[in-house]
Amino acid sequence: MLRAGRLGGACALRLLLAAHTVAAFEPISVGIAIGAASALTGYLSYTDLYCRFAECCREEQPLNASALKQELEEKLFGQHLATEVILKALTGFKNNKNPKKPLTLSLHGWAGTGKNFVSQIVAENLHRKGLKSNFVHLFVSTLHFPHEQQIKLYQDQLQSWIRGNVSACASSLFIFDEMDKLHPGIIDAIKPFLDYYEQIDGVSYRKAIFIFLRQEEREKTSS
Ligand SMILES: *[C@@H]1O[C@H](CO)[C@@H](O)[C@H](O)[C@H]1NC(C)=O
Ligand SMILES: *[C@@H]1O[C@H](CO)[C@@H](O)[C@H](O)[C@H]1NC(C)=O
């Protein structure tokens, strides 16, 4: 509720003007929305209104660092270093108007829940709908790329998906789970997108974010 109020702040204020829609909002979320809206520049448009209900890709959408910090600290109990690194990387990247390459985060060595929590929290803080967002893409090696003899197909497919999705939304988020089980050929297919190119075939990947999750060796043998 907090997050919805925050992201939709500007639009919620406008909705308040239409008295009959007010009832649709709980008092608490309205209160939060007003607080957040007053901090904004006051630019209200139909885009805001539209994006309150449909999902929009807003690459200039600032990251709420304090919300992300709070959530990481609450849910990743005891992972101070990880929290710090993730927070620093994401805020630095999102505050940079002109990044020279996409952000890549490699997370490894954690028990399953910790890793999944991180990608979920990051996804939700970047795109309101989190893992359900049209701009967040989760690939699980054993699920999406199971057959070694089809590597060529996977490579082509994945490259065209990354290209298509980043064309549609520059700030797309791609999460690759089970990196330790990912065929090297697939990794090769992703690599070009992670580099310092200004653009590839007219598409710039510099605002995209890639998260790679890897199980630590120790966990693999003990499970
Ligand atoms: C950022 O998140 C904090 C904590 O959830 C919230 O209090 C604050 O209003 C948010 N800021 C903006 C600009 O939305
Ligand atoms: C975006 O990625 C998804 C897989 O997550 C894929 O199904 C879809 O076709 C891609 N969209 C484009 C426009 O390539």
Verify whether ligand 2 is closer than 6 Å to residue 164 (CB atom): yes
Collapsing DSSP to helix, strand or coil, 103 comes out as strand
Q: What angle do CA 180, 215, 66 make, to 5 degrees?
A: 120
- Give the pLDDT score at 25: 45
Q: Which ligand is nearest to the CA of 2?
A: 1
DSSP 63: P
Buried b or exposed e, range 88-113, using 16+ CB within 10 angstroms: eebbebbeeeebebbbbbebeebeee
Higher model confidence: residue 26 or residue 80? Answer: 80
Model pLDDT for residues 160-212, shown as the tens digit of each residue: 999 999 999 999 999 999 999 999 999 999 999 999 888 888 999 999 999 99
DSSP 65: H
Q: Supply the residue whose CA is at minimum distance from atom 10 of ligand 2.
A: 161
Model confidence at 80: pLDDT above 70: yes
Model confidence at 222: pLDDT above 70: no
Mean pLDDT confidence for 22-28:
44
Measured between alpha carbons, how far is 111 from 134 in angstroms, rounded to an integer? 27
